[in-house]
């Protein structure tokens, strides 16, 4: 079977689905790998590096996609790419299926089997395929570094002949993978860190990183959803949450928001009036910008200043660190592809939790209920 690795055509995307090291792994599994010329340019991988690993370089994207049995990408297919895909082929990427509904329709019309790395279940067996976690780790790390360059203050405590500089106060909203990495990075830079999450069971993880866990007394399961993800909370909880965040955000130099609910727009945690009450020169790093933002004023892929507060809506932090982002994603997606093959043969076992969980289209049908609901809205 032929696997195709095309260039990413979305502006600002520097990652690629597979690097040369993983090409060797795919070939060892009995697959033929073809790579579009220039696919690795954004992270300094040359065509020759792919050739040396055993891949064939193809100049024309249409030729590459029309002859591929499996296409591996980082992002969803944009319109002309979807038209080039071969009928009944397999497409795998970090597809946000409830958002990119037009692309989903294209796959359905061509009877393409679609897998989203976003939908990989959080199980022990699927850990090495968990692309969402590997990319979120990078986002949390880079958000702190970038936010520190927006700030007009030091991050650590400094004692100088001219006086003592107190540490910056950082508040992290959402203690998932991105949030925990943001906490760890901010602590390494010497900041005083607090964190909030609707899931009380993450308290121990937050405190193990040296941060203070800010919590609300409520039903212990109020914010806990399937698979350990956050879910919608009760109105009473939201009221308490808003009051708590408002009191802490007013004292913070940097706020990093990471709250997401699978298949839903990001919850608004920081309304306009909270921004107005923040310290002049403080910073909001909104890692939920891609899904609408946790701050009411966030603008996707823009850095704006409102009420003397800097709001950074960068939506794709992993792409700003493409070498390691690709190294991790390539391992995730290669692990998934090799999992699909048993004894050299493609095995789409619909009873398998990983395969059925990651699949969203098959044989002209949508197999993922939240995606189906999004198309019917």
Do 331 and 276 reside in the same domain of the chain? Answer: no
Q: Is 376 contained in some domain?
A: no
Give me the pLDDT at residue 230, please. 53
Do 272 and 157 reside in the same domain of the chain? Answer: yes
Do 193 and 280 reside in the same domain of the chain? Answer: yes
Q: Is 375 contained in some domain?
A: no
Q: Is 304 contained in some domain?
A: yes
Domain that holds residue 89: 2-119+322-365
What average pLDDT does the segment 334-363 reach?
94
- Indicate the number of domains in the chain: 2
Q: Is 335 contained in some domain?
A: yes
What are the backbone angles phi and psi of residue 310, rounded to the nearest 5°? -85, 125
Do 9 and 145 reside in the same domain of the chain? Answer: no
What average pLDDT does the segment 240-263 reach?
91
Do 74 and 213 reside in the same domain of the chain? Answer: no
Do 151 and 273 reside in the same domain of the chain? Answer: yes
Give me the pLDDT at residue 7, please. 97
What distance in Å separates the CA atoms of residue 26 and residue 330, rounded to the nearest whole number? 11
Give me the pLDDT at residue 182, please. 98
Strands, E assignment, the chain: 2-5, 32-36, 56-58, 70-72, 90-93, 113-116, 158-160, 163-165, 169-173, 192-196, 212-214, 254-257, 283-286, 303-306, 309-312, 341-342, 345-346, 359-362, 365-366
Q: Is 377 contained in some domain?
A: no
pLDDT tens digit string along 212-226? 999 887 655 554 555
What average pLDDT does the segment 144-171 reach?
97
pLDDT confidence of 126, banded at 50, 70, 90? very high
- CATH number assigned to the domain comprising residue 254: 3.40.50.720
Do 272 and 339 reside in the same domain of the chain? Answer: no
What average pLDDT does the segment 199-216 reach?
94
Whether pLDDT at 252 is above 90: yes
Q: Is 82 contained in some domain?
A: yes
Do 331 and 233 reside in the same domain of the chain? Answer: no
Do 180 and 234 reside in the same domain of the chain? Answer: yes
Do 160 and 280 reside in the same domain of the chain? Answer: yes
Angle CA(181)–CA(200)–CA(267) in degrees, nearest 5? 70
pLDDT tens digit string along 166-179? 999 999 999 999 99
Do 73 and 148 reside in the same domain of the chain? Answer: no
Catalytic residues: 122, 127, 130, 133, 229
Do 330 and 315 reside in the same domain of the chain? Answer: no
What average pLDDT does the segment 156-185 reach?
96
Give me the pLDDT at residue 232, please. 60
């Amino acid at each position: 079977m032929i696997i195709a690795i095309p260039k990413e055509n979305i502006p600002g995307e520097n990652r690629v689905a597979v690097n040369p090291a993983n090409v060797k792994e795919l070939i060892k599994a009995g697959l033929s790998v073809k790579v579009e010329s220039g696919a690795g340019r954004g992270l300094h991988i040359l065509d020759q590096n792919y050739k040396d690993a055993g891949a064939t370089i193809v100049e024309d994207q249409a030729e590459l996609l029309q002859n591929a049995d499996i296409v591996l990408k980082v992002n969803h297919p944009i319109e002309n790419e979807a038209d080039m895909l071969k009928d009944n082929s397999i497409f795998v990427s970090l597809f946000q299926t409830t958002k990119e509904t037009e692309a989903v329709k294209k796959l359905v019309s061509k009877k393409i089997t679609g897998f989203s790395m976003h939908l990989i279940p959080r199980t022990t067996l699927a850990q090495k395929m968990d692309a969402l976690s590997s990319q979120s780790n990078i986002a949390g790390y880079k958000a702190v570094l970038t936010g520190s360059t927006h700030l007009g203050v030091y991050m650590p405590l400094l004692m100088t002949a001219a006086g003592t500089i107190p540490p910056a106060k950082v508040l992290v909203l959402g203690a998932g993978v991105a949030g925990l990495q943001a906490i760890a990075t901010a602590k390494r830079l010497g900041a005083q860190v607090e964190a909030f999450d609707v899931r009380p069971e993450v308290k121990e993880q937050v405190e193990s990183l040296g941060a203070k866990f800010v919590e609300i007394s409520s039903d212990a399961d109020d914010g806990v959803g399937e698979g350990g993800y956050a879910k919608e909370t009760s109105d009473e909880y939201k009221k308490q949450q808003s009051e708590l965040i408002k009191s802490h955000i007013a004292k913070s130099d940097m706020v990093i928001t990471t709250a997401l609910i699978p298949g839903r727009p990001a919850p608004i945690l920081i309304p306009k009036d909270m921004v107005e009450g923040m310290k002049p020169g403080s910073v909001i790093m909104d890692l939920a910008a891609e899904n609408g933002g946790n701050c009411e004023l966030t603008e996707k892929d823009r850095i704006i200043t409102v009420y003397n507060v800097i709001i950074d809506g960068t939506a794709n932090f992993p792409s700003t660190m493409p070498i390691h982002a690709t190294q991790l994603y390539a391992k995730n997606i290669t692990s998934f592809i090799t999992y699909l093959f048993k004894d050299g043969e493609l095995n789409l076992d619909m009873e398998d939790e990983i395969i059925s969980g990651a699949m969203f289209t098959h044989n002209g049908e949508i197999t993922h209920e939240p995606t189906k609901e999004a198309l019917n809205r």
